[in-house]
Chain A
């Protein structure tokens, strides 16, 4: 079982604060790293899919970086708003082989972000 760790588990910030959280994953046999945003009572929605070491992705006020050599990704939120309150999940997939046995996304337990107005 692959180990995908997210920290912190939860985070409370004030509206307007910038924040970031971490996803750690195995540094060997990397294939892709996903970030999802999961609001309460809804389904997870994809933010980013990252595949290359050094990748940086941005969507509005949210951005992510990837370091596959050391096995971590950061998610940044600039100027947090109450609507950013959600659980942020990362998910790792290792090398995909033609036998089909490695087509598995392993999720971290998430970081719960609460943005207070």
Chain B
């Protein structure tokens, strides 16, 4: 099992550009989520999904879109990048949220100039 994979590992964007951060898992997990990690702020939930075709907003969803067309993939789209979106992004998955641990991907470090 590869577990949770994320691409790219690093990315630099200019303000206004759009891009998609990829996340995939091969553990047949129903629950997937995206977090951003900023200094002094801990991990904050951006969006999550409880299964294919179902997504919902987390704590900081503005400026991001997600979709879940398959169980395996949960891409995060930045519509028009802003410097405030400079962060480290983590994708995570679990069997069912709550009583099961989350498995985290290696992270994507994004810089928006």
Nearest Cβ on chain A to B42's Cβ, whole angstroms: 4
Residue in B56, B58, B101, B106 with the greatest tally of chain A CB atoms within 10 Å: B101
Is A106 in contact with B45, judged by CB distance below 8 angstroms? yes
Bound-state CA distance A46–B4 (Å) is: 14
Q: Which residues of chain A are within 8 angstroms of B75 by Cβ–Cβ distance?
A: none
Q: Which of A14-22, A60-68, A69-77, A95-103 contacts B (4 or more CB under 8 A)?
A: A95-103
Q: Which 5 A-B pairs have the closest CB atoms?
A: A46-B101, A43-B104, A109-B42, A107-B43, A32-B98
B-to-A contact residues, CB < 8 Å: 31, 33, 35, 40-45, 48, 50, 54, 56, 58-59, 90, 97-107
Q: Which residues of chain A are within 8 angstroms of B41 by Cβ–Cβ distance?
A: 109
Nearest Cβ on chain A to B55's Cβ, whole angstroms: 10
Is B101 in contact with A49, judged by CB distance below 8 angstroms? yes
Q: In chain A between 48 and 91, which residues have their CB closer than 8 angstroms to a CB of chain B?
A: 49, 51, 89, 91
Q: Which residues of chain A are within 8 angstroms of B106 by Cβ–Cβ distance?
A: 42-43
Residue in A34, A93, A105, A107 with the greatest tally of chain B CB atoms within 10 Å: A105
Q: Which residues of chain A are within 8 angstroms of B42 by Cβ–Cβ distance?
A: 89, 107-110
